[in-house]
Structure 1
């Protein structure tokens, strides 16, 4: 048994998910196969994209048009994964910061959606693959973590949200994608959904100078994930750092 298998988390059936990303395309690289599996099984999934994606792409020009393009790409990619509810916070790409204002927006959304799983980028830097640790990615992870605990479940945090009818909510599970390898403790076999994932990634054409190389790298990474978690030969997997926040195993206040 591998170390990854020993750490594997037992996760109950997912019915409602709220997924966060720093930029359009982050979720598709990190979790589109898992999301497509959830929606195919009947789960409701909401995306929240924190920045406008205005610093992306490779061509000079109107950044507002870049934002519009990337938003439309994300909407089309989300539909391929079975997701139709997308929220855009519109923060400036490259300058996402952990502020009370942004945390409050995330808390409001958590309390509105009331998900079984909150899915987010990871707040820790990945030194093995620094590209996974764009500063906006790290900020996304920290913002979501602060929102999940304790703010979303604390009735005295952001009292004006309660005045709007957004009552405190305890998130059961927090899933991180893009985690440092030593944090990964759960694999999802997406062997039958690899083409769906790749199709969603391809939609973000404005971000890919070499689509063929990108696809080869993604396929290789998915197969490596499966091997590390002891899945059958030829399998493909997305991997996560899964944290139980309010489960049968957790004790309030500890």
Structure 2
């Protein structure tokens, strides 16, 4: 498995908020799970600053967790964890990075999928401060912390052994950095259904659905796919591959 072709065995996906994964990668994930990949989600914040209705405010964090679990089920994912950091105040702190390292060592994925740490000026909504913090925290965790037995030695002592992640796939980053376009034609409806499951986040469902389909078509065009295809786009980085050298 090279991280770019055949289906990986295990994938761990990080997001700042419930619904981020579904906008960024749900169709790709649906393809992976259909091929037998075990996919796990880790949502960093509680999502309590999201939504548009005053009626949802009491218990919004619990509602958003339920929405994320329902969305995950649509694309074949049952392992969903939440770190519960405050929505709107996420930072790549030592504690957050430790929790991410713990989750990586528990799952031991072939591919980590994460929001991007770099701001995108083509569509600023992709670069919510929590999104950038998620990307930065995951990047700091994946190298060198998760593979260093002397980083967070309490994890090593608890049996969560260090290991090297081969691949990191970023979503929601600057368009000029994207280097992988996954053809998701035929999975558009499942992606839309997963996004729509976050009903507390959509004041105009029809407009959202139409816009998402347009973005998928534009991704395919930018990726050089034939007319009429749909794609999700990623910035893929090799962390420990045949082309990398340990210690450099």
Aligned-pair CA distance for 1:11: 4.3
Aligned-pair CA distance for 1:14: 1.1
Please point out which of 9, 25, 31 is paired with 1:15: 9
Aligned-pair CA distance for 1:60: 2.6
Q: Distance in 2 between matches of 1:87 and 1:122?
A: 20
- Worse-superposed segment, 58-67 or 234-243: 58-67
Q: Distance in 1 between matches of 2:159 and 2:56?
A: 39
TM-score normalised over the length of structure 2:
0.97
Q: Which residue of 2 aligns with 1:207?
A: 201
Please state if 1:112 is matched with 2:106.
yes
Please state if 1:34 is matched with 2:28.
yes
Q: Distance in 2 between matches of 1:163 and 1:251?
A: 27
Q: Deviations over 1:151-187 (max 9, x none)?
A: 0001100000001100101000000000101110001
Q: Which residue of 1 aligns with 2:122?
A: 128
Q: Which residue of 1 aligns with 2:52?
A: 58
The residue matched to 2:44 in structure 1 has which SS?
strand
Q: Deviations over 1:183-211 (max 9, x none)?
A: 10001000010000000011011000001
Q: After the TM superposition, list the runs of 4 or more consecutive aligned residues in structure 1 that deviate by more than 4 angstroms.
A: 9-12, 61-64
Please point out which of 70, 90, 93 is paired with 1:76: 70
Q: Which residue of 2 aligns with 1:5?
A: none
| CA contact 1:54–1:64 (8 Å) conserved in 2 | no
Please state if 1:234 is matched with 2:228.
yes
The residue matched to 2:186 in structure 1 has which SS?
helix
Alignment of 1:75-224 (within 5 A): 75-224=69-218
Aligned-pair CA distance for 1:128: 1.0
| CA contact 1:19–1:46 (8 Å) conserved in 2 | yes
Q: Which residue of 1 aligns with 2:240?
A: 246
Instruction: Provide the aligned length of Structure 1 versus Structure 2.
Output: 246
Q: Distance in 1 between matches of 2:95 and 2:143?
A: 16
Q: Distance in 2 between matches of 1:64 and 1:151?
A: 38
Q: Which residue of 2 aligns with 1:67?
A: 61
TM-score normalised over the length of structure 1:
0.95
The residue matched to 1:109 in structure 2 has which SS?
helix
Structure 1 stretches of 5 or more lacking a match? 1-8
Q: Distance in 1 between matches of 2:121 and 2:222?
A: 19
Q: Distance in 1 between matches of 2:50 and 2:19?
A: 10
Q: Distance in 2 between matches of 1:112 and 1:118?
A: 13
